[in-house]
């Protein structure tokens, strides 16, 4: 050990000493500390004992400083640091109470920014960051087949079975398909949504049943699947939360199913929102629907511990290498995509949510600029007071601290108001939010969100309170004391103010441009010709599943009877049945195979939407007939097979020639050839912004099979509520085993299809409006502040002969320069950030020049008006009054 180290080691711990010097009452400080040091040196005589001596010193120091007050007159812990803070806080509170205008404006401005941020974060958190209620959720991946065109989709059962067998990196591989049984009990029939899953589904999710038991592999076999697990919510709502439910049987599709367990309350069906009942899948390789081509199963897997997704993906890809070789016709060039559950969940919503968070951040920055400006004005007003305090020896920190305390109080108020705003907004946001937003039911202002909000408010408050303090520095104050002129310190904070205005204007421009573009985008989306009429039309989803509908004929008979009954309801203009409805969640596409291949040799068109409909579907939906005829009641089961195609398909296959009379097959190659008898206009399906695909309509009676799920479309002038009631009665009179689900008007259907964009648009509108108001207030505040400070200068100028026009022009020019700079920067920003809006935009460029130009003009106008008032006031200044104000 060197000598220097030796000496250092022999000094008592410095921090402990500092603590002692600070905390031990003065009358005994010297003696007690001296005793300790003396004892320390005695104890630390040998190098081996130094550590023990230091430890002992610390112990003694802590004991001495923490002695309770009634034992001795130790300095209370709150004095010194804390009592000053308390004093400053009290003083700050008193000052804020004296200026309610400032307090209210500043905290409300802060609240606007913070509240918006809080609400958006609350909405986005469950989807983007909130913990998923599964064990090691980051180890869960979805598996999708990647097709030649780059799209990805579901898998066939045998493919999943192969992956399960031939991979070593996956702990569990589960499959699931849609399952919508009809539950019949005393209250009648109702349709449940659920999943048919392989027995290891809960193993993949890492979830245990709340009570009861999980499926066994034996139950995941054909004809053994009459057991179900209930989601917690369903169990509460339909079965009264009765824990005796396990072991009881319920009627699903007229068949007894045994309830074997209930899922935990926090289980969320994140991939299939709303699924509330689980049944074993019960597939075997021999089942028809288990084929490799039958790609209708959702596959999820749990990675083995420590295996990265990329490694597992290569592992599964190897399985596909073999499959491609073994079954070239089935797999072609297909590959596989593994996506972590969280990413899968946010595939479509991540970008829009981030854009909204970005918008909220812009608003926040504008709010920050405004509050900073308010505090700056306050600091300047208090210049005299600060000067005197500085002269009397107050440190710069001490001066800044009083401002900081005000800022903290304003932050506190701001976060309170902000919570109120966020709370009020959240209900509306959730109501407005598109159903496609993942985990919407988990949206709430919980503790982390609240803490984040408060932290944000405090940070903002600190910045806006400290920034002006930085310009109230000692030098400026001394200079002021020396000259007692109002104009001296102006340079520094004027620059701050100008920067603030420019920043505010450019940020506001960004938000306004975003809002402008989104508004137009939604308008264009809603103005899209959906291809069908929406007025006075409602739809009901019907299903005929279960034991009593085992025979095809029974299903067909039921639909026929229901169709007749619906048409007979008083006030109904027309009523039709269809196997799928545009813009609903239905998605049923088939291959169309031409009798005569097209000129380019193409014999089939894949992915054509199949609508199996009753003859009056065209009138019920108001479809536009282009050529030929639509289906008629004469197109029956026994008559010639016919089909009606849409314009897009006609153009794609026949170009300018008439398709009438040509023939095609739908689906399997052994299905009958159907003659094209008509062409109708395109309808938007499955989404508003999708490119129109081929669509074909065939008579329900001529379909290869009877659809178990259909929709009833009704055109009627009767008020929807009453209409739905009578339709419900009519359906039940025909067959009380047919549940009705998803009743909706067609216009609501279209609205829903635009919901995600409308959600973003509304939010941007609100943000942009707030930004505009804040920016206008900000400009006004800054300029009137400048004018107010320069009254004397204005007085001198006019005394020296400046005319009112000249003064007016002078201030207008100043405002104009600021506005122009802000707008120019904003336009640049709008150009740069445009791509962030792309996922939200339809039918318009995210950098639409016209919008940017119009918004710039508008904002410039607002800036001008905000400048005008203070400038006009400046021009009215009476030189004599002005010179006397000093």
Partner 1 sequence: MPLGDLEQLVMLALLRLGDDGFGAAVQREIAERAERDVTLGAVYTALARLEEKGYVQSRIGDPLPQRGGRRRRHYDVLPAGRAAVAEAWQAMRALSRGLSAQLEG
Q: 3-class SS at 641?
A: coil
Q: Identify which of residues 30 and 138 has a Cβ nearer to partner 1 in the complex.
A: 30
Q: Identify which of residues 30 and 729 has a Cβ nearer to partner 1 in the complex.
A: 30
Q: 3-class SS at 424?
A: helix
Cα–Cα distance measured from residue 296 to residue 304, given in angstroms and rounded to the nearest whole number: 26
Q: Which of residues 39-58 bind partner 1 (CB under 8 A)?
A: 39, 41
Q: Identify which of residues 72 and 728 has a Cβ nearer to partner 1 in the complex.
A: 72
Of the candidates 144, 131, 248, 250, the residue with the CA atom closest to the CA atom of residue 187: 250
Q: Identify which of residues 68 and 165 has a Cβ nearer to partner 1 in the complex.
A: 68
Q: Which of residues 728-747 bind partner 1 (CB under 8 A)?
A: none
Q: Which of 9, 37, 808, 864 binds partner 1 (CB under 8 A)?
A: 37
Strand spans (E) along 702-739: 709-716
Sign of CA dihedral 130, 134, 135, 136: negative
Q: Which of 16, 33, 143, 170 binds partner 1 (CB under 8 A)?
A: 33
- The stretch near partner 1 (CB under 8 A) out of 26-34, 105-113, 223-231, 559-567 is 26-34
- 35 interacts with partner 1 by CB under 8 A: yes
Q: Identify which of residues 67 and 629 has a Cβ nearer to partner 1 in the complex.
A: 67
Q: Which of residues 822-841 bind partner 1 (CB under 8 A)?
A: none
List of residues 6+ apart from 870 with CB closer than 8 A = 780, 783, 784, 786, 787, 811
Report the nearest approach of partner 1 to the CB of residue 39 (Å).
Answer: 5
CA atoms in the 13 A half-sphere facing the CB of 668 = 7
- 22 interacts with partner 1 by CB under 8 A: no
Cα–Cα distance measured from residue 200 to residue 210, given in angstroms and rounded to the nearest whole number: 16
Report the nearest approach of partner 1 to the CB of residue 357 (Å).
Answer: 54
Of the candidates 394, 470, 408, the residue with the CA atom closest to the CA atom of residue 91: 408
- Any idea which residue has 């511990």 for tokens? 305
Of the candidates 281, 277, 252, the residue with the CA atom closest to the CA atom of residue 267: 277
Report the nearest approach of partner 1 to the CB of residue 47 (Å).
Answer: 18
Report the nearest approach of partner 1 to the CB of residue 59 (Å).
Answer: 7
Of the candidates 439, 724, 680, the residue with the CA atom closest to the CA atom of residue 582: 680
Do you know the residue count of the chain?
886
Q: Which of 31, 87, 211, 705 binds partner 1 (CB under 8 A)?
A: 31
Q: Kind of pairing, strands 152-153 and 140-146?
A: antiparallel
Q: Identify which of residues 39 and 802 has a Cβ nearer to partner 1 in the complex.
A: 39
Of the candidates 18, 14, 29, 13, the residue with the CA atom closest to the CA atom of residue 75: 29
Report the nearest approach of partner 1 to the CB of residue 379 (Å).
Answer: 45
CB 849 within 8 A of CB 530: no
Cα–Cα distance measured from residue 444 to residue 603, given in angstroms and rounded to the nearest whole number: 54
Query: Residue 818: beta bridge partners?
Result: none
Q: Identify which of residues 41 and 398 has a Cβ nearer to partner 1 in the complex.
A: 41
- 322 interacts with partner 1 by CB under 8 A: no
- The stretch near partner 1 (CB under 8 A) out of 31-39, 344-352, 418-426, 794-802 is 31-39
Report the nearest approach of partner 1 to the CB of residue 11 (Å).
Answer: 9
Report the nearest approach of partner 1 to the CB of residue 3 (Å).
Answer: 18
Report the nearest approach of partner 1 to the CB of residue 456 (Å).
Answer: 43
CB atoms closer than 10 angstroms to residue 352: 23
Q: Could you give the string, one character per residue 58-97, with x where binding to partner 1 holds by CB under 8 A and - elsewhere?
A: -xx--xx--x---xx-------------------------
Q: Identify which of residues 35 and 719 has a Cβ nearer to partner 1 in the complex.
A: 35
Q: Which of residues 543-602 bind partner 1 (CB under 8 A)?
A: none
DSSP 297: B
Report the nearest approach of partner 1 to the CB of residue 82 (Å).
Answer: 22
Report the nearest approach of partner 1 to the CB of residue 123 (Å).
Answer: 55
Report the nearest approach of partner 1 to the CB of residue 1 (Å).
Answer: 21
Integer CA distances (angstroms), 377 to 371, 458, 472, 584, 791, in order? 10, 20, 11, 56, 15
Report the nearest approach of partner 1 to the CB of residue 34 (Å).
Answer: 3
Q: Could you give the string, one character per residue 839-878, with x where binding to partner 1 holds by CB under 8 A and - elsewhere?
A: ----------------------------------------
Report the nearest approach of partner 1 to the CB of residue 12 (Å).
Answer: 9
- The stretch near partner 1 (CB under 8 A) out of 37-45, 433-441, 550-558, 740-748 is 37-45
Q: Identify which of residues 39 and 440 has a Cβ nearer to partner 1 in the complex.
A: 39
Q: Identify which of residues 72 and 725 has a Cβ nearer to partner 1 in the complex.
A: 72
Q: Which of residues 224-263 bind partner 1 (CB under 8 A)?
A: none
Cα–Cα distance measured from residue 562 to residue 574, given in angstroms and rounded to the nearest whole number: 13
Q: Identify which of residues 76 and 247 has a Cβ nearer to partner 1 in the complex.
A: 76
Q: Identify which of residues 72 and 884 has a Cβ nearer to partner 1 in the complex.
A: 72
- 36 interacts with partner 1 by CB under 8 A: yes
- 392 interacts with partner 1 by CB under 8 A: no
* CA trace torsion 724, 728, 729, 732 (10° rounding): 170
- Binding residues for partner 1, rule CB under 8 A, total 19
Cα–Cα distance measured from residue 487 to residue 493, given in angstroms and rounded to the nearest whole number: 11
Q: Identify which of residues 35 and 138 has a Cβ nearer to partner 1 in the complex.
A: 35
Cα–Cα distance measured from residue 72 to residue 794, given in angstroms and rounded to the nearest whole number: 64
Of the candidates 176, 192, 190, 270, the residue with the CA atom closest to the CA atom of residue 234: 192
CB 442 within 8 A of CB 345: no
Integer CA distances (angstroms), 295 to 154, 157, 302, in order? 5, 8, 21
Structure tokens at 843: 């039918």
Strand spans (E) along 170-248: 170-179, 182-185, 188-191, 194-197, 211-212, 227-230
Q: Identify which of residues 43 and 561 has a Cβ nearer to partner 1 in the complex.
A: 43
Report residue 581: phi and psi, to 5°: -120, 135
Report the nearest approach of partner 1 to the CB of residue 465 (Å).
Answer: 40
Binding site residues, partner 1, CB under 8 A: 28, 30-39, 41, 59-60, 63-64, 67, 71-72
């Amino acid at each position: 050990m060197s000598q220097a180290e030796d000496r250092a080691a022999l000094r008592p711990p410095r921090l402990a000493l500092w603590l002692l010097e600070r905390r031990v009452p003065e009358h005994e400080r010297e003696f007690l500390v001296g005793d300790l040091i003396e004892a320390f040196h005695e104890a630390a005589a040998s190098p081996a004992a130094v550590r023990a001596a230091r430890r002992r010193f610390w112990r003694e120091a802590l004991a001495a400083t923490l002695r309770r007050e009634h034992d001795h007159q130790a300095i209370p812990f709150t004095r010194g640091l804390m009592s000053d803070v308390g004093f400053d806080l009290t003083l700050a509170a008193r000052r804020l109470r004296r200026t309610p205008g400032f307090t209210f404006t500043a905290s409300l401005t802060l609240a606007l920014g913070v509240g918006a941020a809080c609400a958006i974060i609350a909405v986005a958190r469950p989807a983007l960051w909130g913990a998923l209620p599964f064990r090691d959720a980051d180890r869960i991946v979805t598996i999708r087949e990647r097709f030649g065109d780059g799209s990805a989709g579901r898998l066939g059962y045998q493919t999943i079975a192969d992956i399960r067998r031939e991979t070593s990196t996956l702990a569990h591989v589960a499959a699931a398909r849609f399952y919508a049984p009809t539950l019949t009990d005393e209250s009648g029939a109702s349709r449940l949504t659920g999943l048919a899953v392989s027995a290891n589904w809960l193993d993949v999710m890492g979830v245990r049943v709340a009570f009861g038991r999980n499926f066994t592999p034996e139950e995941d076999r054909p004809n053994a699947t009459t057991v179900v697990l209930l989601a917690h919510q369903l169990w509460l709502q339909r079965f009264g939360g009765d824990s005796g439910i396990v072991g009881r049987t319920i009627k699903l599709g007229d068949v007894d199913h045994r309830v074997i367990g209930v899922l935990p309350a926090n289980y969320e069906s994140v991939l299939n929102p709303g699924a509330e009942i689980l049944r074993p899948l019960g597939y075997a390789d021999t089942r028809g629907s288990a084929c490799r081509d039958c790609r209708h199963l959702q596959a999820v897997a749990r990675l083995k511990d420590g295996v990265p997704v990329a490694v597992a993906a290569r592992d599964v890809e190897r399985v596909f290498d073999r499959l491609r070789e073994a079954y070239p016709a089935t797999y072609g060039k297909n590959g596989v995509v593994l996506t972590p559950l969280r990413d899968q969940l946010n595939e479509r919503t991540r970008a829009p949510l981030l854009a909204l968070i970005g918008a909220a951040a812009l608003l926040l920055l504008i709010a920050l600029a405004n509050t900073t400006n308010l505090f700056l004005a306050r600091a300047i007003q208090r210049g005299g007071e600060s000067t005197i305090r500085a002269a009397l020896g107050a440190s710069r920190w001490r001066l800044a601290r009083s401002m900081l305390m005000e800022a903290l109080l304003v932050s506190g108020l701001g976060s309170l108001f902000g919570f109120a705003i966020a709370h009020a907004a959240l209900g509306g946001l959730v109501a407005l939010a598109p159903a496609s937003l993942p985990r919407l039911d988990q949206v709430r202002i919980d503790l982390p969100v609240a803490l984040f909000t408060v932290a944000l408010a405090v940070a903002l408050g600190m910045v806006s309170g400290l920034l002006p303090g930085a310009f109230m520095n000692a030098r400026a104050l001394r200079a002021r004391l020396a000259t007692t002129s109002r104009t001296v310190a102006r340079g520094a904070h004027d620059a701050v103010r100008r920067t603030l205005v420019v920043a505010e204007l450019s940020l506001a421009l960004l938000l306004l441009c975003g809002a402008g573009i989104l508004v137009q985008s939604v308008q264009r989306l809603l103005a899209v010709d959906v291809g069908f009429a929406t007025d006075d039309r409602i739809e009901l989803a019907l299903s005929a599943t279960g034991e009593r509908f085992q025979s095809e004929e029974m299903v067909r008979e039921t639909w026929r009877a229901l169709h007749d009954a619906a048409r007979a309801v008083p006030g109904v203009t027309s009523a039709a049945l269809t196997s799928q409805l545009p813009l609903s969640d239905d998605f049923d596409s088939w291959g169309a195979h031409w009798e005569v291949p097209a000129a380019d040799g193409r014999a089939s068109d894949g992915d054509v939407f199949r609508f199996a409909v009753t003859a009056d579907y065209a009138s019920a939906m108001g479809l536009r007939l282009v050529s030929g005829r639509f289906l008629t009641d004469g197109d029956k089961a026994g008559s010639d097979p016919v089909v009606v195609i849409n314009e897009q398909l006609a153009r794609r296959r026949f170009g300018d020639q008439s398709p009438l009379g040509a023939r095609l097959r739908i689906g399997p190659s052994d299905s009958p050839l159907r003659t094209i008898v008509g062409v109708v206009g395109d309808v938007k399906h499955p989404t508003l912004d999708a490119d129109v695909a081929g669509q074909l309509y065939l008579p329900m009676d001529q379909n290869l099979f009877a659809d178990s799920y259909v929709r009833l479309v009704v055109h009627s002038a009767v008020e929807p509520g009453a209409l739905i009631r009578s339709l419900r009665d009519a359906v039940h009179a025909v067959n009380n085993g047919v549940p009705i689900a998803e009743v909706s008007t067609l216009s609501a259907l279209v609205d829903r299809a635009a919901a995600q964009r409308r959600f973003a648009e509304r939010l941007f509108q609100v943000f942009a409006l707030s930004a505009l108001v804040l920016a206008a207030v900000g400009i006004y505040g800054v300029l009137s502040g400048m004018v107010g400070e320069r009254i004397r200068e204005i007085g001198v100028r006019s005394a020296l002969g400046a005319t009112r026009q000249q003064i007016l022009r002078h201030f207008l020019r100043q405002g104009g320069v600021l506005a122009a700079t802000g707008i120019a920067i904003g336009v640049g920003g709008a150009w740069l950030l445009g791509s962030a809006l792309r996922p939200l935009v339809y039918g318009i460029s995210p950098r639409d020049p016209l919008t940017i130009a119009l918004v710039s003009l508008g904002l410039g106008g607002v800036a001008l008006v905000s400048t005008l008032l203070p400038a006009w006031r400046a021009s009215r200044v009476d030189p004599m009054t002005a010179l006397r104000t000093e």
